Structure 1
Amino acid sequence: MEINLWSWNVNGLRAAINKGFIETILREQPDWLGLQETKLQEHQIPSELGVLSN
């Protein structure tokens, strides 16, 4: 059984989204995704991340 684990230090999630973060995640579909240094508070999480909730 193969599991695809990603740990990504995004160093600012909004900037990462502008550089194709969402498209990369959707294309590669990791089984688990851990994000560090998002530099966001919960109320600032972009709506685009709703596509990653499954």
Structure 2
Amino acid sequence: MKTKEDLIKAGPSIGVGLLAGIGLGIAFNNIGLGIAFGLIFGSAYSQTIGKK
């Protein structure tokens, strides 16, 4: 279970992942795919930060 502090720390990295994913989506002409990538990258990135 994540604490509020963890979620606050994770927020920006998920946002960055989403932006990167949307960028990829535009590049591949598929926004839905980009958002899916963004969520995957963002959550993975935030979990990596959370472990430090």
TM-score by length of 2: 0.25
Greater Cα radius of gyration, structure 1 or 2: 2
- Greater share of strand: 1
